[in-house]
């Protein structure tokens, strides 16, 4: 539907299960908040200034050559469906999609790098990688940062670091996060306690689309809560340790699901979910994710499910509402969308 969506790949490269622990870590993302020296932050800048910043940012992104054959999109030229599609792909935020400002996004051909323009800050640089790949994601965003920072004057202060509209982002301006799948810990009812412990360790947990979004399919976005006072590498090393601990806990929770007396219930749950996805005629995204979570866990635990993480990960992205409408090539009402989703899964799930 439309040129914009048609130009994006049908298969999302960063959702391939390539990194470490692909059954537990879906993807890793590093984002840097940057602003231009001498310019008011987007919420208080005049419209003409924001348009100038947008042009400069897009021209500079082009000049870095990191976005060769990529996408350069101005949000005010996008339809609501196109904006929703980009939110679902994690290239723009809800805030930018709903903003009236002169916003934009540059996305690399592989969709692993993006620069959002005029969201809360002038620039939000993002790198996304498959699996548990903090070093790779940090390396990629650092290269982009070095290129952009060479061509554009960042707002930087020796004491406070990179200056941002909201003081919660000042300093490194960095948020490193992993999208983790914790179905066994969720089933064991251990998430509330774990999230409280994480909070004491300076780690934040959010829903699948970031701040203020609900937890879908037992996927949590785990990130650093603070970004000033330590180096980028130290924050990354801290998150790396936290995620490694979560992996250990999830593995041991999965082991508890196969002890005698529990095993049958677990197996039954996994295959009921598999059966539902294979046979349903109408399924909402929430229900789909809930069942996908069990099937994904079952596949990781070695149950004879003839599907792979690659397919399941693609499903998680492609079965979102805007992606479904784009695939159908026409606007869909909620009931039609649920029916299309069920039909697609029946056809493509082995």
Partner 1 sequence: MLCQSCGKNDAVIFLKAAVNNKVTGIHLCGHCAEEKGVTFSGLDAEPLNLSGMPGHFGGYFKEFLPREKRTLRCRTCGQAYHEFKESGLLGCPGCYAEFAPQLTELLTRIHGSCAHTGKQYAVTGKTPAARPRESAAGLREALKKAVAREDFEAAARLRDRIKELGGANG
Residue 246: closest CA among 1, 15, 24, 5 = 24
> DSSP letters along 51-87, please?
HHHHHHHHHHHHHTTTTTT-EEEEGGGS-HHHHHHHH
Nearest distance from residue 306's CB to partner 1, in Å? Answer: 26
In angstroms, what is the minimal distance from the CB of 239 to partner 1? Answer: 14
Gap between the Cα atoms of 311 and 309, Å rounded:
5
- Each residue of 83-109: b (16+ CB within 10 Å) or e? bbbbbbbbbbbbebbebebbbbbbbbb
Which three-class secondary structure state does DSSP give residue 171? Answer: strand
Q: How far is the CB of 136 from partner 1 (least distance, A)?
A: 18
Least Cβ distance, residue 62 to partner 1 (angstroms): 15
Please say which residue, 41 or 72, places its beta carbon nearer to partner 1.
41
Q: Closer CB to partner 1, residue 98 or residue 252? A: 98
d(C-alpha 183, C-alpha 217), whole Å:
8
CB closer to partner 1, 92 vs 305: 92
Shortest Å, Cβ 226 to partner 1: 4
Q: Which is nearer to partner 1, 205 or 301 (CB)?
A: 205
Which residue, 70 or 321, has its beta carbon nearer to partner 1? 321
Report, in Å, the least distance between residue 30 CB and partner 1. Answer: 12
Separation of alpha carbons 65 and 39, rounded Å: 25
Count of beta carbons in the 10 Å neighbourhood of residue 71: 17
20 vs 74 by CB, closer to partner 1: 74
């Amino acid at each position: 539907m439309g040129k914009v969506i048609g130009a994006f790949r049908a298969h999302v490269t960063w959702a391939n299960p390539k990194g470490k622990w692909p059954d537990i870590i879906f993807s890793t993302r590093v984002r840097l908040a940057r602003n231009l020296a001498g310019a008011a932050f987007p919420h208080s800048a005049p419209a003409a200034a924001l348009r100038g910043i947008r042009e400069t940012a897009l021209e500079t992104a082009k000049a870095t050559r990191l976005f060769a054959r990529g996408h350069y999109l101005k949000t005010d030229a996008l339809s609501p469906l196109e904006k929703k599609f980009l939110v679902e792909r994690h290239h723009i935020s809800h805030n930018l999609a709903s903003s009236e400002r002169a916003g934009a996004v540059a996305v690399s051909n592989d969709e692993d790098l993006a620069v959002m323009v005029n969201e809360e800050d002038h620039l939000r640089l993002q790198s996304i990688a498959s699996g548990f790949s903090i070093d790779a994601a940090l390396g990629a965003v650092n290269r982009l940062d070095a290129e952009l920072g060479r061509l554009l004057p960042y707002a930087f202060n020796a004491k406070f670091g990179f200056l941002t509209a909201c003081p919660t982002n000042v300093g490194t301006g960095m948020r490193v996060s992993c999208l983790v799948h914790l179905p066994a810990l969720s089933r064991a009812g251990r998430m509330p306690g774990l999230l409280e412990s994480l909070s004491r360790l300076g780690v934040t947990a959010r829903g699948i689309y970031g701040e203020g979004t609900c937890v879908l399919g037992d996927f949590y976005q785990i990130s650093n809560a603070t970004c000033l006072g330590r180096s980028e590498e130290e924050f990354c090393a801290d998150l790396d340790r936290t995620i490694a601990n979560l992996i250990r806990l999830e593995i041991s929770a999965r082991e508890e699901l196969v002890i005698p007396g529990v095993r049958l219930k677990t197996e039954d749950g996994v295959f009921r979910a598999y059966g539902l996805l294979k046979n349903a005629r109408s399924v909402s995204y929430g229900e789909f994710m809930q069942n996908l979570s069990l099937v994904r866990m079952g596949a990781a635990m070695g149950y004879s499910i003839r599907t792979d993480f690659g397919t399941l990960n693609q499903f998680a992205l492609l079965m979102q509402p805007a992606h479904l409408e784009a695939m159908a090539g026409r606007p869909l009402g909620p009931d039609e969308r649920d029916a299309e989703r069920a039909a697609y899964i029946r056809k493509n799930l082995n």
